[in-house]
Amino acid sequence: MRLEQRLTPQLIQSMSILQKPVADLEACVSEALESNAALEVAEPERPADADGSGNGRAEAEDAPGFARLDRFSRDYDMDASERSPYRTRRSASSSDRDPKLAAIANTPGREINLHDHLRAQWSLIDANDELRLAGELLISSLDPDGYLRMSYEEIVAGTNEPVTVESLTSALDEIQRLEPAGVGARDTIECLLLQLDRLPGNNDVERTLIQHHLRDITHNRLPAVARATGYSTGEITAAIEAMRSSLVLHPGYLVGDRSVPAIRPDVVVEYADSGAGLAVRLTRGNTPELCIRDDVLALAKSKNGVKETREFARKQIESATALIDAIVFRKNRLLEVVQSIVEKQREFFDVGPQGLKVFRMSDLAAELSCDPSTISRTVADKYMQTPRGMFPLRYFFTGGTETEDGESMGWDRVKTRVREIVDAEDHKHPLSDDQIAVFLKKEGIEISRRTVAKYRQQLDIPNARQRRQF
């Protein structure tokens, strides 16, 4: 006798569907619609008029459009009955244009990158064949940020082309004259000096700082730099500000579009129209209206026909039913979790991140009578659109501490307090991590110096030495 825990295929599918964000769910449903003959998108019901004529939609479209526009914007600019994210099956007699041509026409063009940008300029250089070949090899060897981190010997060893170290040296001098300024540099100092050469005016102070005192500037040791160079602290500070405003450390990133793809929220939390409380709703795509096709269902129940055909229909119906059940479970579980988040973190929506309270996944799992891993799968890679912006669902689950007054305080609230203390400090005499910990202890927040240092690094706040202003 032994006790085993087994995962059925339906349970595995349910956990997989639960973990998918809205974009992946739409892709999964679209694939299922193509592969499962028993699955289809349910037709939306049209509201009927008082006389039963069913023309309520037409009259609504003729009404003033402000309410309808608001509904459209909530559903991402399109009514669900007019545009579904899931593809329906097309009949063989469809007269639409060629889908391959449509896909080609809708494919975005390839964005230009640094190498293409430099090759276009290099093609206009007046050079012999050997120098042109060396330049092309160097451009191909550049990192995306514009630096050349390979040695000449490595470039020569990695190609079968007849190129020498001397030709690479000459070609690099030409490449470093291309745009953007600073490409082809082999280290940070060379990159900054190449950009400085393009700037007008007298840049002797900046050149001296870059060539001999870059490390001291990084660690904010300005008095030591002043003693070594003879420049005043004011001149050094002005030169540093000028370099920060006109020089970049990674010039290659100036070429091309490096925008981050937009995030689609899975759930929207907004203030209720009545003005009291918050309303929670899932975005369109989380609740696909799927159903079983009537003809496939009739075929599975039929006594006539080939046995293999009936078996195929039954298997397709079982698979479709399992998918529909998994999507319904995902919808219900996601709503339960988000409603609990809104209830527990209500203060966040009123005052911001400093209002976050201690809220752990294990606590919510006990409340919903499920395993913490289920909560983790539910919130994985999912985002919530709130009146205060877009936040991942995991953001609302946080540990914390209790003040001397017994108040529950989340770690994000402690981080916010650390930021406020640093912003209010005397910049000529900044606070150390120990002093910040003592400051928080006076407010009833007991945390160690190491915890303060960790939060300061997470907030991208330099240490006391680097924050000091002279």
Q: In this structure, are strands 383-386 and 267-271 parallel, antiparallel, or unpaired? A: parallel
Q: How confident is the model at residue 64 (pLDDT cuts 50, 70, 90)?
A: very low
Is the pLDDT at 82 greater than 50, yes or no?
Answer: no
Give the C-alpha distances (Å, rounded to integers) separating 84 from 79, 80, 129: 8, 6, 57
pLDDT number for residue 368: 87
pLDDT number for residue 462: 83
Is the pLDDT at 466 greater than 80, yes or no?
Answer: no
Q: Name residue 280's beta-bridge partners.
A: 269
Q: Judge contact between 122 and 139, C-beta under 8 A.
A: yes
Is the pLDDT at 97 greater than 60, yes or no?
Answer: no
Rounded average pLDDT over 221-229: 87
pLDDT number for residue 147: 92
Q: How far apart are CA 36 and CA 39, in angstroms?
A: 6
Helices 433-442 and 411-423, axial angle in degrees (round to 10) = 110
Q: Judge contact between 465 and 427, C-beta under 8 A.
A: no
Q: How confident is the model at residue 191 (pLDDT cuts 50, 70, 90)?
A: very high
Rounded average pLDDT over 122-135: 87
Residue 264 CB neighbour total at 10 angstroms? 16
Q: How confident is the model at residue 222 (pLDDT cuts 50, 70, 90)?
A: confident
Rounded average pLDDT over 175-188: 91
Of 233, 232, 236, give the one whose Cα is nearest residue 212: 236
Q: Judge contact between 214 and 191, C-beta under 8 A.
A: no
pLDDT number for residue 194: 92
pLDDT number for residue 91: 41
pLDDT number for residue 25: 87
**Dihedral, 446, 450, 454, 460 alpha carbons, nearest 10:** 100
Query: Which has the higher per-residue pLDDT, 30 or 87?
Result: 30
pLDDT number for residue 407: 60
Q: How confident is the model at residue 50 (pLDDT cuts 50, 70, 90)?
A: very low
**Percentage with pLDDT > 70 across the chain:** 81
Q: How far apart are CA 221 and CA 248, in angstroms?
A: 21
Q: How far apart are CA 273 and CA 175, in angstroms?
A: 61
Please tell me what DSSP assigns to residue 3.
-
Least confident of 137-151, 259-273, 306-320, 354-368: 259-273
Least confident of 341-345, 375-379, 430-434, 463-467: 463-467
Q: How far apart are CA 344 and CA 356, in angstroms?
A: 9
pLDDT number for residue 57: 44
The SS3 of residue 460 is coil
φ, ψ of residue 39 in degrees (nearest 5): -105, 140
pLDDT number for residue 285: 77
Q: How confident is the model at residue 408 (pLDDT cuts 50, 70, 90)?
A: low
Of 179, 175, 249, 235, give the one whose Cα is nearest residue 202: 235
- Contacts of range 24-27, beta carbons closer than 8 Å, 24 or more positions apart: 25/285, 25/286, 25/288, 25/327, 25/330, 26/85, 26/86, 26/285, 26/288
Of 400, 399, 392, give the one whose Cα is nearest residue 360: 399
Instruction: Mark 119-131 as b/e (b = at least 16 C-beta within 10 Å).
Output: eebbeeeeeeebb
Which of 36-40, 353-357, 444-448 has the highest mean predicted lDDT (pLDDT)?
Answer: 36-40
Is the pLDDT at 55 greater than 70, yes or no?
Answer: no
Please tell me what DSSP assigns to residue 199.
S
**Percentage with pLDDT > 90 across the chain:** 9
Least confident of 41-55, 223-237, 422-436: 41-55
Taking only the tens place, the pLDDT of each residue in 285-295 is 777 788 888 88
Q: Judge contact between 20 and 379, C-beta under 8 A.
A: no
Query: Which has the higher per-residue pLDDT, 263 or 108?
Result: 263
Q: How confident is the model at residue 257 (pLDDT cuts 50, 70, 90)?
A: low
Q: How confident is the model at residue 98 (pLDDT cuts 50, 70, 90)?
A: low
Token code pair at residue 143: 């990192």
pLDDT number for residue 401: 63
Q: Judge contact between 418 and 443, C-beta under 8 A.
A: no
Q: How far apart are CA 403 and CA 206, in angstroms?
A: 49
Is the pLDDT at 307 greater than 70, yes or no?
Answer: yes
φ, ψ of residue 267 in degrees (nearest 5): -145, 150
Helices 307-344 and 9-19, axial angle in degrees (round to 10) = 40
- Domains of the chain and any CATH numbers: 114-254 (no CATH), 267-396 (no CATH), 400-467 (1.10.10.60)
